[in-house]
Structure 1
Amino acid sequence: MLLKDKVVIVTGAGPGMGQATCRGAAAEGARVVVSARSRDAIEAIVADIAGKGGEAIAVPCDVSDTDQCQALAKAAIDQWGRIDGLVNSAYFHPDWMNLETHSIDQLLQAFNVNAAGALRMAQSVIPAMREAGGGSIVNVSTLATRKPMPGEGGYAMAKAALNQLTRQLAVELSGTGIRVNTTLMGWMMGAPLEGYIGSLGDQGDAFRAQRASEIPVGHIPPDADCAKAIYFLLSDYASEITGAALDVNGGDWVAP
């Protein structure tokens, strides 16, 4: 198992890749701290993990609140005595709109959750990781920071700040054994996208086929498979990798 006995916190464990990451990390042997704002949602994930023989606890957290972030880290330590990994998957996506007319309030909220929220969580886990002599932080970012997309400017700006957080922390934490990396996700097949495709009615299948044809791997990557890159970066197999940005988008970042 890639993550056997590692204690991993996952924020933003809502529908989609956040939930897939929790379940997949547990299947790889991790003890998972499942976190999101909805207690019902995260308790359901924990029950599912436990039902399959895994270990997990549910800890509600809004990453825009520093005290809640610190409480989340403390819950992991209280339960298992250490923190080996942090996955910053919590996000806020503003409305799709061009920057020319973008809501500044929504933009600031995106920065507060996507970038500052990740920093709050990093600040909360770094002391325990430093004391233990190492750890891994994985920041979940987006293809839109490499490949501008109409209407995605506000979200991409906030995630670009997250990308810089990765590079900055990787340098600042030199010699501590704490690694910090980014995954750049693109279109992912999972509950959120399935819901969107369903909302298109008769046009849904055509949209799915068109989008798949534009991605070099020939299909829309499933979120559970994209999450495997996160497990790699959390694992000892990535012991010499820090400050990196890994494209996990089926090659979409190089497609015209």
Structure 2
Amino acid sequence: MLLKDKVVIVSGVGPGMGQALARIAAAEGARVALGARSKDLIEEVAADIKAKGGQAIAVPTDISSAAACEAMAQATIDAFGTIDGLVNTAYIHGAWLPVDEADPEDYARVFDVNCLGAMRMAQAVIPTFKAKHDGAIINVSTMSTVNPFTGEGGYATGKGGLNVLSRHMANDFGKYGVRVNHTRMGWIGGKPVYDYIDRAVAAGGDRDQITAEIAGRIPLDIIPPEDDCAKAVLFFLSDYARVVTGAVLDVNGGQYMAP
């Protein structure tokens, strides 16, 4: 199994790829700590993991609070004895507005979660990583940081900061044996995207046409399935990536191809 005996924190376990990351990590042998503001959801996912023979804890966590991030790390150590990996997937989107109409305070709130929240979580786990001279951090970002999409200025700005922060983390944490990488996700075939399609259909759109239009932008001609996207992220936690740090992986079916 890819993550056998590793202890992994997944922050931002929501109804989209976050829950898939937690479930697949557990299926690949990891003991998983699930963090998010939604207590009911993370408890549901943790219970499902345990029902399938895995090990998981649910820790309600608001990553805008350093104390909450530290409590998340400590709860993981209390439950499993150590921490081997951190997946920073928590985010908020902010208002869907073009930049000329956007509220700078909304951008600030988004940046605080999307970028500084990942920093707080990294600072919470780094003492454990330093002590063992080992660890891996994956920061989940978005294709819209390099391929702009109207209305995503705030979200992409926060994640763009995360892209830069990831490289500085890799530089600063490398001497402690800690690897830091990030992924830029495109369309992900999970609940958030299918809810978006449902809303478009409710507004009078044709489901097949909308789905085909999205897939038509992507060289693989599919909306990348959520589980496949999650597996690409989790690869960086595995021993197959032990000498990979400071890297970025585009997970988008080829819609954006970095030069």
Shorter-chain TM band: over 0.9
| Cα shift at 1:199 | 1.2
Residue equivalent to 1:155: 155
User: CA shift at 1:30, angstroms?
Assistant: 0.4
Whether 1:181 aligns to 2:181 is yes
Residue aligning to 1:171: 171
Alignment map for 1:125-136 (pairs within 5 Å): 125-136=125-136
Q: What's 2:27 paired with? A: 27
Query: Higher mean Cα deviation, 195-204 or 14-23?
Result: 195-204
Cα distance in structure 1, aligned partners of 2:165 and 2:226 = 24
How many angstroms apart in 1 are the aligned matches of 2:115 and 2:157?
10
Asked whether the 8 Å contact 2:250–2:257 carries over to 1, the reply is no
Cα shift at 1:38: 1.1
Whole-angstrom distance in 2 between the partners of 1:90 and 1:204: 29
2:230 to 227, 230, 233: 227
Aligned-residue offset at 1:104: 1.4
**Which consecutive segments of 4 or more residues in structure 1 shift more than 3 A?**
none
- RMSD over aligned Cα atoms: 1.0
Cα distance between partner residues in 1 of 2:233 and 2:28: 11
| SS in structure 2 of the partner of residue 173 of structure 1 | helix
Query: Residue 11 of structure 1 contacts residue 88 of structure 1 at CA under 8 Å; is this kept in 2?
Result: yes
Amino acid at match of 1:233: F
User: Deviation string for 1:106-125 (max 9, x for gaps)?
Assistant: 10111000000000000000
Structure 2 segments unaligned to the other structure (5+ residues): none
- Which amino acid in 2 is paired with 1:253? Y
Report whether the alignment pairs 1:139 with 2:142: no
In the alignment, structure 1 residue 122 sits paired with structure 2 residue 122:
yes
Alignment-mate amino acid for residue 137 of structure 1: I
Q: Secondary structure at the match of 1:254?
A: coil
Q: Which residue of 1 aligns with 2:41?
A: 41
Q: Give aligned-pair identity as a percent.
A: 53
Q: Which amino acid aligns with 1:108?
A: A
In the TM superposition, residue 207 of structure 1 has moved relative to its aligned partner by: 0.9
Distance 2:233 2:132 in 1: 21
Q: What is the alpha-carbon distance in structure 2 between the residues aligned to residue 173 and residue 198 of structure 1?
A: 43
Deviation string 1:124-179 (CA, Å, 9 cap, x unpaired) is: 00000110111000000000011111111111111010001110011111221100
CA distance in 2, matches of 1:149, 1:37: 27
Distance 1:139 1:10 in 2: 10
**Cα deviation, residue 224, structure 1:** 1.1
Question: Counterpart of 2:109 in 1: which secondary structure?
Answer: helix
Per mean C-alpha deviation after superposition, the further-off stretch among 5-14 and 197-206 is 197-206
Q: Does 1:208 align with 2:211?
A: yes
Per-residue Cα deviation, 1:77-100 (whole angstroms, up to 9, x for no partner): 111111000000000101111111
Distance in 2 of aligned mates of 1:123 and 1:107: 23
Cross-structure match for 1:248: 251
1:85 equivalenced with 2:88 (yes/no): no
Structure 1 residues not aligned, in runs of 5+: none
Per-residue deviation, 1:217: 1.0
Q: Distance in 2 between matches of 1:151 and 1:181?
A: 26
- Contact between 1:82 and 1:132, CA under 8 Å: does it hold in 2? no
Per the normalisation by structure 2, the TM-score is 0.96
User: What is the aligned residue count?
Assistant: 255
Mean Cα deviation higher: 193-202 or 245-254: 193-202
